[in-house]
Structure 1
């Protein structure tokens, strides 16, 4: 099995990432995670409605992020039940 050659864009991206300090890489990762969480939150609000409680939105975002980890997802589901019960 042969690997496909990197595109010029991928090569440039990897070269620039290699130039970053560890602190800069960490800051970039944190910014990308925040961007992802914000994107998912907007999708949740579009589905649930703008009046959805911020606490519920936070946990719905977490459930999406941890969807592939059954144990964490089960814990989040428990918290969501609690948040939903308080909101009634």
Structure 2
């Protein structure tokens, strides 16, 4: 399993970013589980898992864009390879 952890910064709270990210993860073929949640500093935290890197890379590209109402200024991404899966589904926290 491969895991992507990302912190998305900018105008990303109060614009439907979490639900957009959930929907985006659901529609990408090959995505496993994960979560998206707001952080106290105004950013959004995302964790996603998949068996292959390609769907996670596509998801990361989408996170850089965000929904139309958002203004993403930075995305910090961290990759982990060969990890044990810890998510059964993708959820909004």
Taking structure 1 as the reference length, what is the TM-score of the superposition?
0.29
Bigger fraction of residues in helix: 1
Bigger fraction of residues in strand: 2
Taking structure 2 as the reference length, what is the TM-score of the superposition?
0.28
Q: Which has more radius of gyration?
A: 1
